[in-house]
């Protein structure tokens, strides 16, 4: 079956396997799935060398390489020198090796032998997770650069109004040290010379945290620094929300207006354009999860000649979950409050022993069952064991004449075949939860960044090397730029100055050339003289 329809099918993959026949086989399977084989290596040392020179998109690493450097050591060396995701291949690894492997933060494990769907889904999830983590790092770098470079004071609080962050300007204006300020109520740090202004701070914080709306302090309040200075400021409080819309706190942006020389800059409220689309790679599945459990159970019941049965798995909370139960059992069971989820403390009877002891049990009765339970005449329970741990259980009951040793061996054989498939399914579910967490962190970071941007009264832009405006709040008098121009990622000289060519001199070109911050005054025909501060952003 050719499954090379994935959006990452052109990914370049380095195969590290010391058994040449297996390595060749993996390379052929990768090519059949549409991936590009960047190269292969048979030792840890060779793997490190090729990874650093070829820079593949992903490394498939045999965990048990022979020689002085095994797969774990090679992966750690690659991880320390290059941003390349690694997936371990293993048929068996001892506990110490697995513990070492965890420290290297691999992007997945594939147990040999494996199916093409397992190989492809593991690769796609690893590539997707790597993209998400890279995007999150870039977002955090942008945020860190902005917070360092803006000339405004920024204070962030939690949902209770307690200070969680202050940038350098905020520390200078308030006179507090970061250690003393963190954890204190906002009104302890953000103090004013008169009681009315102090009351407004409490009111402003309550309004922002309570309604989720931005609030600007009116008038020209005098901030009372801890060293006694009285500083006229302008301040805006903006909420930032979590991924689910929950109010996480507020961002207070304020600046000293005593040095205002040329003109009074009014705070302009306008939405900035931020487009971020998260592309989620669809994992190719032959059969949906719930149907898979039902189909497997139906097959077992037919082959066993059994009327009743169930097939379940152990989740991350050590609960035994039964997504598939024969219809007859569910319909005939009369136990009040019957459930399909059993915490580990409720693993009772033969099926509980099977899960705990990782071994099968057969019984021809007699059975003691709760009132309302289906009457049992025979029972066979077989755990699904992966690496000496029960990850699932198959149970069948009430076969005419009871279950034989042959039945038991058959079901144990089926369980052994199901084990890697079920493990892959459970691993996929864990990775899906991790993906959601990464997306939520990224979204929270973006939301906080947006809150900071919305609170900055001056024009703030991020410009690429082609002079295009990647991001801008269009504040500071630049709200005249039409929305259709903003949406087209315009050139800075076009949007801000109405020019058809790069300005002479161009402060952006100088920053790109020197890699150093630049401070310059410049005349804008519509606004007047501007003080421009430019800072480089590095990868």
Q: What is the pLDDT of residues 409-442, one digit of tens each?
A: 888 887 887 787 778 778 887 888 888 888 888 8
Angstrom distance (rounded) from CA 88 to CA 93? 11
pLDDT band at 58 (very low <50, low <70, confident <90, very high): very high
* pLDDT tens digits, 443-455: 887 788 777 777 7
What CATH topology corresponds to 289-432?
Beta-Lactamase (3.30.450)
CA angle 117/119/123 to nearest 5° reads: 115
Q: What is the pTM of this model?
A: 0.37
Q: Are strands 389-397 and 518-524 parallel, antiparallel or unpaired?
A: unpaired
What are 297-339's pLDDT values in tens digits?
877 788 778 878 888 888 888 888 887 665 455 444 433 334 4
Report the alpha-carbon distance of residue 76 to residue 95 in Å, rounded.
17
> Are the C-beta atoms of 71 and 159 separated by less than 8 Å?
no
Q: How far apart are CA 412 and CA 410, in angstroms?
A: 5
Instruction: State yes or no: pLDDT of 19 exceeds 80.
Output: yes
Structure tokens of 247?
């109010």
Q: How many CB atoms lie within 10 A of CB 249?
A: 25
Burial grade of 207 (CB within 10 A; 0-12, 13-18, 19 or more): middle
Q: How far is CA 124 from CA 33, 414, 474, in A?
A: 11, 28, 39
Task: Classify 350 as helix, strand or coil.
Answer: helix
Q: How many CA atoms lie within 13 A of 506 on its CB side?
A: 18
> Exposed, middle or buried: residue 94 (CB in 10 Å: 0-12, 13-18, 19+)?
exposed
Domain limits of the chain? Answer: 12-141, 150-256, 289-432, 459-534
pLDDT at 370 over 60: no
What's the mean pLDDT in 139-165? 76
Same fold, 12-141 and 150-256: no
Class of 150-256 per CATH? alpha beta
* CB-count exposure of residue 70 (10 Å: 0-12, 13-18, 19+): buried
* DSSP3 helix / strand / coil % (the chain, rounded to 5): 40, 25, 40
Q: 172 by DSSP, 3-state: which?
A: helix
Instruction: Please give the structure tokens belonging to residue 177.
Output: 């040290």
> What is the average pLDDT score of the chain?
77
User: Is 12-141 CATH 3.40.50.2000?
Assistant: no
pLDDT digits (tens, 9 = 90+) for 376-407: 778 899 999 998 899 999 888 888 888 888 88
pLDDT value for 107: 77
Backbone angles phi, psi at 506, to 5 degrees: -110, 115
């Amino acid at each position: 079956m050719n499954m090379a329809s994935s959006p990452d099918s052109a990914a370049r993959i380095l195969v590290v396997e010391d058994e040449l026949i297996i390595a060749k086989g993996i390379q052929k399977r990768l090519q059949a799935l549409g991936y590009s084989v960047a190269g292969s290596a048979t030792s840890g040392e060779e793997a490190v060398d090729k990874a650093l020179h070829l820079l593949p998109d992903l490394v498939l690493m045999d965990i048990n390489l022979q020689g002085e450097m095994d797969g774990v050591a090679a992966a750690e060396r690659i991880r320390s020198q290059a941003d390349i995701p690694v997936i371990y291949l293993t048929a068996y690894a001892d506990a110490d090796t697995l513990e070492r492997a965890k420290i290297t933060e691999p992007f997945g494990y594939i147990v040999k032998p494996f199916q093409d769907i397992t190989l492809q889904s593991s690769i796609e999830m690893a590539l997707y997770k790597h993209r998400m983590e890279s995007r999150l790092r870039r977002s955090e770098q942008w945020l860190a650069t902005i917070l360092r470079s803006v000339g405004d004071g920024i204070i962030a609080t939690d949902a209770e109004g307690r200070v969680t962050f202050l940038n350098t300007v905020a520390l200078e204006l308030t006179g507090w040290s970061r250690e003393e300020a963190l954890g204190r109520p906002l009104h302890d740090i953000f103090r004013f010379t008169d009681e009315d202004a102090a009351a407004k701070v409490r009111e402003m914080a309550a309004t922002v945290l309570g309604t989720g709306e931005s609030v600007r302090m009116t008038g020209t309040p005098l901030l009372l620094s801890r060293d006694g200075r009285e500083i006229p400021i302008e301040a805006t409080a903006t909420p930032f929300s979590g991924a689910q819309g929950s109010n996480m706190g507020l961002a207070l942006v304020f600046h000293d207006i005593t040095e205002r020389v040329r003109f009074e800059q009014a705070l302009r409220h306008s939405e900035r354009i931020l487009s971020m689309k998260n592309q989620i790679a669809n994992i190719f599945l032959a059969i949906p999860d719930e149907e898979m459990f039902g189909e497997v159970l139906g097959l077992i019941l037919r082959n066993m000649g059994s009327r009743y049965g169930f097939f379940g798995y152990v989740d991350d909370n050590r609960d035994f979950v039964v997504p598939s139960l024969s219809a007859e059992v569910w319909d005939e069971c009369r136990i009040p409050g019957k459930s399909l989820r059993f915490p580990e403390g409720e693993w009772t009877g033969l099926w509980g022993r099977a899960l705990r002891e990782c071994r099968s049990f057969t019984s021809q009765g007699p059975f003691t069952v709760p009132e309302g339970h289906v009457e049992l005449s025979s029972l066979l329970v077989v755990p699904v064991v992966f690496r000496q741990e029960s990850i699932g259980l198959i149970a069948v009951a009430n076969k005419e004449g009871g279950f034989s040793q042959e039945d038991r061996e058959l079901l144990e054989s089926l369980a052994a075949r199901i084990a890697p498939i079920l493990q892959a399914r459970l691993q996929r579910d864990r990775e899906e939860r991790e993906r959601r967490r990464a997306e939520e962190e990224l979204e929270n970071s973006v939301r906080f960044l947006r809150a900071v941007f919305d609170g900055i009264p001056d024009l703030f832009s991020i410009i690429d090397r082609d002079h295009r405006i990647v991001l801008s709040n269009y504040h500071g008098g630049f709200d005249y730029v039409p929305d259709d121009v903003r949406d087209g990622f315009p050139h800075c000289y076009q949007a801000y100055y109405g020019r058809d060519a790069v300005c002479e001199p161009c402060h952006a070109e100088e920053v790109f050339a020197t890699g150093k911050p630049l401070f310059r005054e410049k005349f804008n025909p519509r606004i007047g003289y501007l003080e421009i501060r430019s800072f480089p952003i590095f990868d």
